[in-house]
Amino acid sequence: MIKTDNNVRKLTLNLIREKKKKLLDDAKSKATNTNNSKKDKKSILDIKKPNPVKRKKKSRFKTGVYISTKCTNGPVNYRSGFELVVCQYLDQDPTVREWSYESFKIQWVSNTKTGRIRLYIPDFLVIYYDGTTKLVEVKGENFVNRPAVQKKARMGTSWALRNNAQYEMWTDKKIAAMKKIVEAKTPTEQND
């Protein structure tokens, strides 16, 4: 069950249309109830239309909302197609007991001279029936070698060691395999 950006956009446009219609109806009823002079009729026509919704710049990543059966922290506002595939896979994996999406923050000092503290929010925390806990970061292969991603990986690994968990970075190849599994299990549910 996914609400796509198009559905949200349609709902927003419908709300705007309803608001415009209500404003025009209110203005017409005021004009007919008070004085039917030319001045009042002109004011009905001069009503400014509400500002249209500013469209966000379209992201090159697939975004939307995913409702999960195993996610412990509510609907997932995923920001990439990779994250969507992982959500679907985790829901279908019989070995996964529960998982959460961006459920906590890890603080770390990015600059020892200035003491600047940054936050790292891992993508997934997965708990399996056998007691294993995994901290999972989802990244495209082309992002893995970036310095910021490497720092986050070190912070995730360090958190995992302190909390008796494993840290994994899932990239294109692993996610492509997951997508095949998801599509094989649900051939009728094709999500746009």
Domain ranges of the chain: 2-45, 64-185
Is residue 125 within 8 Å of residue 133, measured between CB atoms?
yes
Model's pTM, two decimal places? 0.64
Is domain 64-185 annotated with CATH 3.40.630.30?
Answer: no
Digit-by-digit pLDDT tens for the chain (192 residues) are 445 566 666 666 666 677 667 766 776 666 565 555 444 444 444 445 555 555 555 556 678 888 888 989 888 888 888 999 999 999 999 999 999 999 999 988 878 888 888 899 999 999 999 999 999 999 989 999 999 899 999 999 999 999 999 999 999 999 999 999 988 876 555 454
CA distance 117 to 110: 6
